[in-house]
Structure 1
Amino acid sequence: MADAYLSGELGSAVGFASAGAALGAIAQQNDQLSQQVSSGQLKMNPDAANKAAEVYELKAQEVDDLAQKADGLKRVEGLGEYTSGQELATKFGMKAANGATGAADLLGKLRDELMKKADLFRQAARDYVATDEQIGEDLQRGSQA
């Protein structure tokens, strides 16, 4: 019985650590995308970029809903007044919100990364339009000369 309990504890720690590592990879991808957008290497068709941004915003809202539900698990009631019940309630609370390893915190960070990606796509669309307008102005000036 104790082995099953410890195995469950380790399994959840590994799961949250893996989620944290995956979140780090997403943040790194966003940083690379940001560099590409800011350097002008990435410009996207506005319709495609805005559709992608809308999908990321929708997913961010869904993740935010999950984060709020997970945050509600910080306080677990009904496990009794015994020390073991209070310790168990504390462990549940730590899994819900514990800085870098709590479910609510990880979900909140994922939401932020999804919103960042949506913003990057919108910036790439704006850059595409600005470049297109600049080319149009340059062509018009060239034809008038």
Structure 2
Amino acid sequence: MADAQMSGDLGAIGGAAMGAAVGFAGAGAKLDAIKGENDKLGQQISSGQLKMNPEAANKAADVYERKAQDVDDLAQAAVKLNRVEGFGEYDSAQQLAGKFNLKATNGESTGAADLLGKLRDELIRKADLFREAAKDYVATDDQISEDLQRGSQA
């Protein structure tokens, strides 16, 4: 399940990121959707509506953590794009180099590296949420065991 959803998350953002500013805006919108899904998942966990088998939850969390590392590697590579050289000394060449810089990191969280960093953070958050759901499952299981034990002793 986690691999399929993860592929969908990355594919949606990757597809939206293709192209110029419109692509980055689309990637930002997809990232907002992922954040919203994580918010909803967190609410379900904190309200007790969602508990997950620890083995399955931990496997899913591991997948999200590995993908977060992959995305972090991409973000680091994107940061390097702001140092594009070799366009020459003409004003138009310098403007083009400046545009590459803005697409890599622009300080407004809409550059490629910025968006990838946010995606990495959401992937780590999702892994943490899965681990939290696993803990709730174990806590509930322990509580049921204690209740049953007390009931059999009475």
Using structure 1 for the length normalisation, give the TM-score.
Answer: 0.91
Report the alpha carbon displacement of residue 78 of structure 1 after superposing the two structures with TM: 1.3
Q: Which residue of 1 aligns with 2:39?
A: 31
Report the alpha carbon displacement of residue 13 of structure 1 after superposing the two structures with TM: 1.1
Q: Does 1:107 align with 2:116?
A: yes
Of structures 1 and 2, the one scoring higher in RCO (CA 8 A, sep 6+) is 1
Report the alpha carbon displacement of residue 92 of structure 1 after superposing the two structures with TM: 0.2
Q: Which residue of 2 aligns with 1:136?
A: 145
Q: Does 1:120 align with 2:140?
A: no
Letter in 1 for 2:118: K
Q: Deviations over 1:22-80 (max 9, x none)?
A: 00000000000000001110000000000000000011000000000001111111111
2:80 aligned to which of 69, 72, 86: 72
Q: Rg: which structure is higher? A: 1
Q: How many residues align?
A: 135
- Any residues of structure 2 matched to 1:22-61 within 5 Å, and which? 22-61=30-69
Letter in 2 for 1:37: I
Gaps of 5+ in 2: 1-18
For 1:101 and 1:109, locate their aligned partners in 2 and report how far apart those are by CA, in whole Å. 10
Gaps of 5+ in 1: 1-10
For 2:117 and 2:146, locate their aligned partners in 1 and report how far apart those are by CA, in whole Å. 43
For 1:101 and 1:12, locate their aligned partners in 2 and report how far apart those are by CA, in whole Å. 11
Q: Work out the percentage of aligned pairs sharing the same amino acid.
A: 75
Report the alpha carbon displacement of residue 133 of structure 1 after superposing the two structures with TM: 0.4
Q: Which residue of 1 aligns with 2:13?
A: none
Letter in 2 for 1:113: E
For 1:111 and 1:125, locate their aligned partners in 2 and report how far apart those are by CA, in whole Å. 21
Using structure 2 for the length normalisation, give the TM-score.
Answer: 0.86
Please report the RMSD computed on the Cα atoms of aligned residues, expressed in angstroms.
0.8
Letter in 2 for 1:34: G
Report the alpha carbon displacement of residue 114 of structure 1 after superposing the two structures with TM: 0.4
